Amino acid sequence: MENGKDILILGIESSCDETAASVVKNGRVILSNCIASQADFHEEYGGVVPELASRMHVDAVYPTVQKALSDAGVALSDIDAVAVTYGPGLVGALLVGLSCAKGLCEVSGKPLVGVNHLKGHIAANYLCFEELEPPFLCLCVSGGNSMIVRVDDYTDMTVLGRTRDDAAGEAIDKIARVIGLGYPGGPKMDKAGQGGDTSRYVFSKTHMGDTLDFSFSGLKTSALNLINGLRQKGEEIDIKDFTASYQHAIAEALLKNTMTAVEQTGIKKLCLAGGVSANSFLRAAFDKEAKKKGIKLYYPALQYCTDNAAMIASCGYYEFMNGKRDTLDLNAYPSLQM
């Protein structure tokens, strides 16, 4: 809120296979949240096809923005700024959202605010917990990233540890495909593992010395070797126990380093963010440890863990209030870091 005036941010997200637009008031109150999903389309290919995703974004982006404004009961002239994801993500997909945002800013004279997609995931927690304020730690886990972030202020963040190779979400998706669960691997593996024995299958883990960094390539390779070994012997894989054990192993690896970060920083307020934060095995592991150690734990409602524009609008609000303005030559950065 600026001088008693509500600030409305239009958020646009198109980093992967969700075309999304949202209007958020004062960084916390969702007035609309619209998503045109491509998941069913890409499922038949076993994963996102970048070129097709870009084409579908072109068809969907402007109607989705129109619906977001309509659902919020506002016009473009009522918006204070347009926030848009400019990375990381698929370059073609990012460019569609960026082009739409630039066009809206050009015709309306509204400021453009580029948003880091990863910071957007962290901001999803602000939408669900009005009392949440920095400083806190955040474990941000998705298909492309796994990192521990110290959030000192709404726009001031430091990465304490990140994956050296595969992200946790990628490790889940790959094994989900190998055992025939298909795409999207995350939710399908989560469902398959419900009620399974988390200790039946054992996977090797890679420890990155005294750092807070992660490595999931070794765990993934261990799972592949176990699968291949069983198949060569003609033995059946118990999908329920296997997926439960695998997800438990990933959750434990994430938990170990995150709890070390809590001990090192002394910050006992912790958030989860990103698509993998919806995983029930991860949540259960963190719930148990947080309760044991007196840590205040936050994680977004399931619909705000996956890609959405409300989180981009929320993050954009804090960037906007901090004075961030981008010019219309803002480019897409598919490998953008925190």
Residues 96 and 227 placed together within one structural domain of the fold: no
Whether the per-residue pLDDT at 40 is higher than 80: the answer is no
State residue 1's pLDDT score.
61
**Same domain as 202, residue 310:** no
pLDDT of residue 37: 77
CA dist., res. 134 & res. 308, Å (int) = 22
pLDDT(10) > 80: yes
* Within-domain flag for 228: yes
In a domain, 3, yes or no: no
* Residue 118 and residue 155 share a domain: no
Instruction: Report pLDDT for 142.
Output: 86
Q: Is 335 among the domain residues?
A: no
Q: Is residue 327 in a domain?
A: no
On whether both 270 and 142 belong to a single domain, the answer is yes
**What's the domain range around 102?**
8-124+305-321
Whether residue 118 is found in the same domain as residue 251: no
Across 20-34, average pLDDT: 98
Let me know if residue 215 belongs to a domain: yes
Residue 317 and residue 277 share a domain? no
Q: Is residue 231 part of a domain?
A: yes
Average pLDDT in the 294-308 region? 95
Residues 148-194 have pLDDT tens digits of 999 999 999 999 999 999 899 999 999 999 999 988 889 999 999 99
Q: What is the pLDDT of residue 228?
A: 92
Is 286 found in the same domain as 160? yes
Is a pLDDT exceeding 80 seen at residue 47?
Answer: no
Q: What is the pTM of this model?
A: 0.93
SS (H, E, C) the chain: CECCECCEEEEEECCCCEEEEEEEECCCEEEEEEEEECHHHHHCCCCCCHHHHHHHHHHHHHHHHHHHHHHHCCCHHHCCEEEEEEECCCHHHHHHHHHHHHHHHHHHCCCEEEEEHHHHHHHHHHHHCCCCCCCEEEEEECCCCEEEEEEEECCEEEEEEEECCCCHHHHHHHHHHHCCCCCCHHHHHHHHCCCCCCCCCCCCCCCCCCCCCECCHHHHHHHHHHHHHHHHCCCCCCHHHHHHHHHHHHHHHHHHHHHHHHHHHCCCEEEEECHHHHCHHHHHHHHHHHHHHCCEEECCCHHHCCCCHHHHHHHHHHHHHCCCCECCCCCCCCCCCC
Beta strand pairing status for 112-116 and 18-25? Answer: unpaired
Distance in angstroms between the alpha carbons of the first and the last residue of the chain? 26
Residue 83 and residue 116 in one domain: yes
**Residues 140, 198: one domain?**
yes
pLDDT for the residue 311: 98
In a domain, 287, yes or no: yes
- 291 plus 146 within the same structural domain: yes
Average predicted confidence (pLDDT) for the chain:
93
* Domain total in the chain: 2
Q: Which CATH number characterizes residue 23's domain?
A: 3.30.420.40
* Mean pLDDT across 29-39: 90
160 and 118 share a domain?
no
Q: What is the pLDDT of residues 79-97, one digit of tens each?
A: 999 999 999 999 999 999 9
Question: For residue range 237-266, what is the model confidence (pLDDT) as tens digits?
Answer: 999 999 999 999 999 999 999 999 999 999
Let me know if residue 19 belongs to a domain: yes
154 with 111, same domain: the answer is no
